[in-house]
């Protein structure tokens, strides 16, 4: 394939030839037609979402969103839960207590008594079921079910619910429109059949826990291991890297102590890094562990964070610029569906952050330009590079000014176009 008249960093306006899934030539523009006329738009490496939950994202097509932005308040939540036919299961996602307070089976019974209802908390860690759902699943006897609140029990609950339609093709198509050429799926306990399930996606895949990908460790404060216990678990999977879910101060400290004891390896990651106290940053830098963060969360969830987060932690939320300035390897993931699936929205948030954590526009783009296995190592378009590419309507400077998915014109994986033909 020949893509003509594109702007490539370090080359200016050139023609780019692809072959065998790679970039085989970058040279001055010549007269004549190519396979794609770039019209002076920038040609970039494709974006990689370094932390996403693809199964849950695909299930959104069969779900109703009931977060603060969608349901708004109690009346909005009740309306959403009652919107489907009586008797059919309702799968609601994105809930936060600011909508209608804490939910349990009895509260949900009052909202929607005539159908099985299950509501997932915005964190993804908690499901709340009403009595009709518990009865339909056979979980309303012998003490099982209780108040209808299930913490980190997705795997067990899955066998009791109707199959959920997964719109993976839709996920892949929407991601291609964003310029995404690869995903890192961050589920903590992937089934061995997950790569096959996800294979319908046109993007490249890294699935944590499968093959040589990092092994995911999910930490919760209520069941937190000691540093020694976590170190032993980490040592047991070496030489593979690990990706440790850290959303509280204590989880980060236990992880750093464990990595110190087990010894870090290339590819070790901190997922989220929700709370990173300033005094831990030299330690992170010394270990060389990469932080894969979500700089959009303080923007998307600012109102809730103002009341939910301990005041002592407010200044340390989802650091971005300060991590980069401390020499800590840094990348970003959307965490979709628990955050926006649009990486350009994440980039805008990273640029517009307050509290000294904003990064410049090019650095924001590089948060999604890293190598799939080494997220902080930004890729560049060069001869010999894998032809996972994103063609823009406009030059790079204009794209960085706009920071919008509207600038994406075409997306290529291995030199094959995965966006619809114009």
Question: Who's near 314: CB < 8 A, 6+ residues apart?
Answer: 305, 306
Q: Which residue has the tokens 């350009």?
A: 344
The answer to whether 341 and 57 have CB atoms below 8 angstroms apart is: yes
| Strand ranges (E), 31-89 | 36-37, 43-45, 47-52, 64-65
Is the pLDDT reported for residue 377 higher than 60? yes
Strands 126-129 and 149-151: antiparallel
pLDDT the model gives residue 274: 96
Phi, then psi, of 409 in degrees rounded to 5: -105, -45
Is the pLDDT reported for residue 367 higher than 90? yes
Give the helix/strand (H/E) hosting 346: helix 343-352
The answer to whether 395 and 40 have CB atoms below 8 angstroms apart is: yes
Nearest to 326 by CA among 271, 292, 284, 266: 284
List the structure tokens of 342: 């649009």
Give residue-wise pLDDT tens across range 85-138.
Answer: 778 899 999 999 999 999 999 999 999 998 999 999 998 889 999 999 999 988
Q: Does the predicted model carry a pTM greater than 0.85?
A: yes
List the structure tokens of 149: 């609140």
Identify the weakest region by mean pLDDT among 27-31, 325-329, 416-420: 27-31
How would you class 239 by CB atoms within 10 Å of its CB: exposed for 0-12, middle for 13-18, buried for 19 or more? exposed
Question: Who's near 158: CB < 8 A, 6+ residues apart?
Answer: none
Q: Give the integer Cα–Cα distance in Å for 193 and 161.
A: 19
Q: Give the integer Cα–Cα distance in Å for 384 and 390.
A: 16
Q: For the chain, what percent of residues have pLDDT higher than 90?
A: 80
Q: How many CB atoms lie within 10 A of CB 154?
A: 16
pLDDT the model gives residue 421: 64
Identify the weakest region by mean pLDDT among 5-14, 30-39, 246-255, 338-347: 30-39
Question: Who's near 208: CB < 8 A, 6+ residues apart?
Answer: 184, 185, 186, 187, 188, 190, 214, 215, 216, 243
The answer to whether 204 and 372 have CB atoms below 8 angstroms apart is: yes
Give the helix/strand (H/E) hosting 105: helix 105-111
Computed over every residue of the chain, the mean pLDDT equals 93
Is the pLDDT reported for residue 51 higher than 90? yes
Q: Give the integer Cα–Cα distance in Å for 252 and 258.
A: 10
Give residue-wise pLDDT tens across range 162-193.
Answer: 888 899 999 999 999 999 999 999 998 888 88
pLDDT the model gives residue 124: 87
Is the pLDDT reported for residue 31 higher than 80? no
Q: Give the integer Cα–Cα distance in Å for 391 and 46.
A: 9
Q: Give the integer Cα–Cα distance in Å for 205 and 51.
A: 11
Give residue-wise pLDDT tens across range 130-161.
Answer: 999 999 988 876 455 689 999 988 888 888 88
């Amino acid at each position: 394939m020949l893509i003509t008249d594109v702007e490539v960093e370090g080359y200016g306006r050139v023609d780019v030839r692809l072959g065998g899934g790679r970039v085989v030539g970058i040279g001055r523009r010549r007269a004549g037609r190519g396979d794609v006329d770039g019209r002076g738009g920038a040609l970039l490496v494709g974006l990689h979402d370094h932390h996403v939950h693809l199964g849950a994202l695909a299930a959104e097509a069969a779900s109703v969103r009931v977060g603060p932005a969608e349901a708004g308040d109690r009346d909005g939540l009740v309306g959403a839960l009652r919107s489907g036919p009586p008797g059919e299961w309702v799968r609601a996602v994105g809930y936060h207590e600011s909508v209608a307070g804490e939910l349990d089976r009895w509260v949900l019974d009052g909202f929607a008594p005539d159908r099985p209802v299950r509501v997932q908390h915005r964190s993804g860690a908690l499901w709340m079921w009403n009595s009709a759902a518990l009865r339909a699943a056979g979980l309303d006897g012998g003490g099982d079910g209780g108040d209808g609140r299930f913490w980190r029990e997705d795997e067990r609950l899955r066998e009791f619910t109707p199959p959920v339609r997964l719109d993976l093709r839709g996920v892949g198509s929407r991601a291609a429109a964003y310029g995404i050429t690869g995903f890192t799926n961050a589920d903590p306990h992937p089934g061995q059949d997950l790569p096959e399930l996800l294979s319908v996606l046109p993007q490249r895949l890294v699935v944590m826990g499968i093959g040589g990908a990092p092994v995911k460790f999910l930490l919760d404060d209520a069941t937190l291991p000691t540093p020694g216990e976590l170190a032993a678990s980490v040592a047991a999977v070496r030489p593979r890297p690990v990706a440790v879910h850290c959303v509280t101060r204590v989880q980060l400290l236990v992880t750093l102590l464990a990595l110190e004891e087990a010894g870090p390896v290339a590819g070790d990651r901190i997922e989220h890094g929700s709370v990173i106290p300033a005094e831990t940053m030299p330690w992170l830098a010394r270990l060389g562990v990469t932080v894969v963060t979500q700089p959009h969360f303080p923007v998307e969830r600012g109102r809730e964070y103002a009341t939910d987060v301990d005041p002592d932690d407010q200044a340390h939320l989802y650091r971005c610029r300060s991590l980069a300035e401390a020499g800590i390897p840094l990348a970003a993931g959307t965490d979709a569906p628990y955050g926006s699936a649009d990486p350009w929205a994440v980039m805008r948030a990273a640029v517009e952050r307050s509290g000294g954590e904003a990064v410049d526009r090019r650095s924001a783009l590089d948060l999604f330009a890293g190598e799939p296995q080494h997220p902080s190592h930004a890729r560049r378009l060069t001869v010999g590079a894998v032809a996972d590419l994103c063609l823009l309507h406009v030059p790079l400077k204009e794209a960085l000014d706009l920071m919008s998915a509207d600038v994406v014109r075409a997306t290529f994986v291995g030199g094959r176009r995965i966006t619809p033909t114009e």
